[in-house]
Amino acid sequence: MSTRLLHIADLHLDRAFAGMGCQGELAIRRRLGLRDALRRAGRTAADQGCTAITIGGDLYEHDRAGADTATFLADTFASWSPIRVLIAPGNHDALLAGSVYSRTEWPANVHLFVTNEMAPLPLAEGLTVWGLAHLEPAWQGNPLAGEAVGGDGGVHLALFHGAELGSRPDGKSIHGPFHAADIREHGFAAALSGHYHRRRIDPAKALLYPGSLEPLTFDESEPRGPVLVTIGGDGSVGYEPLNDNRWNARTAIADVSGAHSLADVVDAACAAAALACAGLEPERTMLRVDLVGEIDTAVSTDSFTVETAVRDGSGAAGVRARDLTTPLLGLAALGPEGTVRAAFARAVAQAAATASDDEHRRSLEDTLRYGLQALGGAEIGLR
């Protein structure tokens, strides 16, 4: 007899999406899209005959979630009954006094883990899910610090929000640090985790990160969706990723080397955007356009113009342009000897060549870039 669970994490309900450049209507559509993703997870769990949906934290964002989100969650979870809902709060939805978790009356099928040490919940014959909660956003405890479990036999799963230290992406915060080797060592057949937004299914280490259900930044590629976890009668654990995202995030690289005018820059950006969005529904696509290459400093790369043109050309719901170009510094680009422009460029370039450290050198490169743009009469957009 096997048991099925549907595992999700990092939904981030009520997210502002300001980091993706979303405002107004688009930000609202993205937030409604997160609610839709949760509802679809419930339908999937019912279709797949799941005993429970497990949520590995960051279900919502505490700073933005209010009474309406609480009601939405309580009603949605109640509609999933008799499927059980197991929740292990994370850093964005920490179990604080006055939080959505604390002040909501949850339906009987919801089980909230409320201590920052693993507590057991018997789920089925011979199957126990252990979970914990982040009680404050900055909690740095090790979720697997407690005693080993399972001395009495049976299958034991861990459900928590935490940062596996062997696979931490650059710059990702360390909330609830742990080592993958401790999962099995502590008697768990699997760790159903949350925190990293990229899907990671690692049967060898018994570690699962489902990733966020929809892309939350431009770097969050697809596919995305819940992961179906099947616990066999023999204690084996199987993982089946489901692809269910409705939104897409893409980055288009536009090489604008040799552009003579903003029109050339716009053309290159639109061509790259069309390639990157091929086959996607534009009205649910978030597109970042990176402008790269060496460009004459007299040519404007105005981001707002590029974004407007790309949005118009591709129909993408959201467009963000990044100027990653470097100034073209050939003699022809600097103009004739004896001009202020050439004298300025040579002086700064020489200083940059002999700069004592990287920070100073980068600062001089910015000086050169903005200075030449100003002398060339171009619109200067800060990067």
Binding site for Mn ion (CB under 5 A): 10, 58
> Considering the complex, what minimum distance in angstroms separates the CB of residue 328 from Mn ion?
41
> Considering the complex, what minimum distance in angstroms separates the CB of residue 214 from Mn ion?
12
> Per DSSP, what are the bridge partners of residue 130?
120, 158
Q: How many residues does the chain have?
A: 383
Q: Which is nearer to Mn ion, 12 or 341 (CB)?
A: 12
Q: Which is nearer to Mn ion, 10 or 307 (CB)?
A: 10
Listed residue (128, 131, 181, 129) closest to 152, CA to CA: 128
> Considering the complex, what minimum distance in angstroms separates the CB of residue 191 from Mn ion?
16
Q: Which is nearer to Mn ion, 10 or 296 (CB)?
A: 10
> Considering the complex, what minimum distance in angstroms separates the CB of residue 269 from Mn ion?
31
> Considering the complex, what minimum distance in angstroms separates the CB of residue 211 from Mn ion?
10
Distance of CA 243 to the CA centre of its chain: 16
Segment (H or E) for 39? helix 24-47
Q: Which is nearer to Mn ion, 10 or 290 (CB)?
A: 10
Instruction: Give me the residue label for tokens 């937030």.
Output: 31
Q: Which is nearer to Mn ion, 58 or 290 (CB)?
A: 58
196: Cβ contacts below 8 Å, ≥ 6 apart: 10, 163, 164, 167, 168, 169, 172, 209, 211
Q: Between 262-276 and 303-314, two packed helices, what is the crossing angle to 10 degrees?
A: 40
Ranked by CB distance to Mn ion, the top (closest) residue is 58
> Considering the complex, what minimum distance in angstroms separates the CB of residue 83 from Mn ion?
23
- In degrees, to the nearest 5, what angle opens at C-alpha 200 toward C-alphas 195 and 206? 95
Q: Which is nearer to Mn ion, 3 or 91 (CB)?
A: 91
Q: Which is nearer to Mn ion, 58 or 164 (CB)?
A: 58
> Considering the complex, what minimum distance in angstroms separates the CB of residue 92 from Mn ion?
6
> Considering the complex, what minimum distance in angstroms separates the CB of residue 206 from Mn ion?
21
Q: Between 340-353 and 358-375, two packed helices, what is the crossing angle to 10 degrees?
A: 170
DSSP 325-346: -EE--SHHHH-STTSHHHHHHH
Q: Which is nearer to Mn ion, 14 or 58 (CB)?
A: 58
> Considering the complex, what minimum distance in angstroms separates the CB of residue 94 from Mn ion?
12
Q: What's the CA gap between 107 and 84, in Å, rounded?
A: 10
Q: Which is nearer to Mn ion, 162 or 371 (CB)?
A: 162
Q: What's the CA gap between 35 and 39, in Å, rounded?
A: 6
Q: Distances from the Cα of 299 to the Cαs of 321, 369, 375, in angstroms?
A: 16, 11, 11
Indicate the SS3 state at residue 181: helix
Q: Do residues 102 and 54 lie in contact, with contact meaning Cβ atoms separated by under 8 Å?
A: no
Determine the residue type at 81.
S
Segment (H or E) for 187? none
